[in-house]
Structure 1
Amino acid sequence: MTQIQTIGEEMKGNPIARFLAFIYGFASYAIFFVAFLYAIGFVSGLMVPKTIDTGAAAPVPEAIIIDLLLMSVFAIQHSVMARKQFKQWWTQFVPKPVERSTYVLLSSLALVLLFWQWRPIPAVVWEITDPPIAMAILTLSLIGWLIVLASTFLINHFELFGLHQVANNLTGRPMPVPRFRTPLFYKFVRHPIYLGFIIAFWAAATMTFGHLLFAAVTTAYIFVGIFLEERDLVDLFGEDYRRYKQRVSMLVPWRKSTR
């Protein structure tokens, strides 16, 4: 038995260890939630000290390289750590009850790094100056963020972000077996969370080159993420998910699925 496995076994029988794991999971969730709220302001240009179009200026080639590196750090961490093979290796070193919280924490810190070090590229690609139309586009962007958040609650928000795991560990209850469900938004598109992000990122009354770079790269990453995630979901749910793919479109509501 490895040292980490020993720690995991001790955690099950040690109320203090279980409580500390819960505090760690709660703190990781709190950091995620603050980062998520900041992301809304960062992309939409609302009520945060540094947005996607503000901050230290840099020559355009330097800004592009830095911004691409920052997005790559998040994409690689976010995708690699979500894969089943990585989790099987990773839980040799991180006790299973806090594995998801650790993933959420590292994802949030990668986002914080992106907010902090992002280099704006302020050249304007398009700009809508009519106030009612600009407000309507901002509203659409905020609806995108709302779709993201609502979609996480439709499945299991607290399991997705690690709180369910540490809460069950605290009370000594096992995690329930995953069930395949398609509530509300999931009846119309297979990936409403990703659809919400795409809406939020592209609905901009003023689209700078920096914002366009962010939207384009994150959208490309979303399609890569969908490919990897659906492969895992087929492994997990088998024929149920294959039939779901045939029946429901990936991202466009009411569009016939092309897989």
Structure 2
Amino acid sequence: MTTTMRRPAPGTVEVAGRIAAVGYGVAAYVLFLLVFSWAIAFVEGIRITIGDSDLVARTIDHGGPTVPAAIALLVNVVLLTIFAAQHSVMARAGFKRWWTRIVPVVVERSTYVLAASLCLAALMWWWCPITAELWDVSGTLASSILVAVSLAGWLLVLTTTFLIDHFDLFGLRQVVTNARGRPAPTYRFVTPLWYGIVRHPIYLGFLIAFWVTPTMTTGHLVFAIATIGFIFVGIRLEERDLVRAFGADYVAYRKRVPMLLPALRHRV
């Protein structure tokens, strides 16, 4: 008795791959949404409890292991460094050229989003609070104002992602376009809304969210200072890539629009 094995019909494997890519991209995006929401609660000190279960038990100043301040500082710096290295290295054009020899181009962005979400989740999970207070205005009118401003920073981050194509930024557009059998997205240089005021409104939003707080602990300060370093390194690397991609258009834009603060006319 002999048996024969049928080969998949032409295109079947390709279609399955496209569907798998969409599933992968959606999963990475959903994870991002969950981790981003957790990050807001983490930084803002929002502890969410449902019944007897803590949905968000750890924040930048509460929960986590209790260790000496020196060890906490070392652990936190390592966690911040890992996140910053992943975020910066994987975003570089040179790394992408090498990486896409291993990972299909269509899921490269989704893989970046997945890695960034996992690194941020690990940072928040293993973060060691250092609770010595530098200032605390909780329970005052100033506290309410500072919380509102900080949340406005998060809102600035979120709204800016939609200005520059939210779903492309987080990898969904690429996998959906591929599933439809359409050419890869093309990019053009545009400066919508906030981008006409500052060159990096997403980074500005993060700075506002991280620094404006009614209670500044030593641990929170370490987090905020580290993000300043990461942001300025990220800007230098990102703008180098943007100049290579858009040439004279970006050079002229950089001369015309300030980096982060509208009131400061220093452009670069």
Pairwise same-fold verdict (TM > 0.5):
yes
Q: Structure 2 counterpart of 1:19, which letter?
A: I
Alignment match of 2:198 (pick from 174, 189, 192): 189
SS of the residue corresponding to residue 173 of structure 1 reads coil
Unaligned runs of 5+ in 2: 1-9, 49-55
- Give the 3 Å change call, closer, same or farther, for CA 119–228 of structure 1 in structure 2: same
- Cα displacement (A) at 1:226: 0.3
Q: Secondary structure at the match of 1:120?
A: coil
1:51 aligns with 2:31: no
The within-5 A match list for 1:71-86 is 71-86=80-95
**What are the Cα deviations for residues 184-227 of structure 1, in whole angstroms up to 9, with x where unaligned?**
00000000000000000001100000000000001111000000
Indicate the SS of the match to 1:25.
helix
Write the mapping of 1:222-233 to structure 2, written as runs, cut at 5 A.
222-233=231-242
SS state at 2:129 partner: coil
1:130 Cα deviation after fit? 4.6
1:214 to 205, 212, 223: 223
The amino acid of 1:30's aligned partner reads: V
Q: Which amino acid aligns with 2:249?
A: D
Describe the superposition over 1:1-26 as per-residue Cα deviations: whole angstroms up to 9, x where unpaired: xxxxxxxxx99971111001100000
Q: Which residue is 2:126 aligned to?
A: 117
Aligned to 2:26: 26
- Which has more helix, going by share of residues? 1
Assess if the C-alpha contact under 8 Å between 1:247 and 1:257 holds in 2: no
**1:42 matched residue in structure 2:** 42
Q: Which residue of 2 aligns with 1:94?
A: 103
The equivalent position to 1:105 in structure 2, one of 91, 114, 120, is 114
The amino acid across from 2:225 in the alignment is A
Give the partner amino acid of 2:219: G
**Amino acid of the residue matched to residue 146 of structure 1?**
L
Aligned partner of 1:69 among 73, 78, 88: 78
Q: Any idea what SS the aligned residue of 1:53 has? A: coil
Q: Measure, in 1, the Cα distance between the counterparts of 2:159 and 2:179.
A: 27
Q: Which range is displaced more, 57-66 or 123-132?
A: 123-132
> Which residue identity does 1:17 align to in structure 2?
G
In structure 1, the partner of 2:185 is: 176
Contact 1:25/1:166, CA 8 A, preserved across alignment = yes
- TM-score in terms of structure 1 length: 0.94
Report SS of the residue matched to 1:204.
Answer: coil
What TM-score, normalized to structure 2?
0.91
1:165 aligns with 2:174: yes
Over aligned residues, Cα RMSD in angstroms? 1.4
Large movers: runs of 4+ above 6 Å: 10-13
The equivalent of 1:17 in structure 2 is 17
Q: Secondary structure at the residue paired with 2:101?
A: coil
Which deviates more from structure 2 when the two are superposed, residues 245-254 or residues 142-151?
245-254
Q: CA deviation at 1:174?
A: 1.2
> How far has the Cα of 1:177 moved from its partner?
1.8
What's 2:53 paired with? none
**Can you list the C-alpha shifts for 1:141-193, whole angstroms capped at 9, x where unaligned?**
00000000000100011111100000101101112321000000000000000
Alignment of 1:194-209 (within 5 A): 194-209=203-218
Amino acid at match of 1:22: V
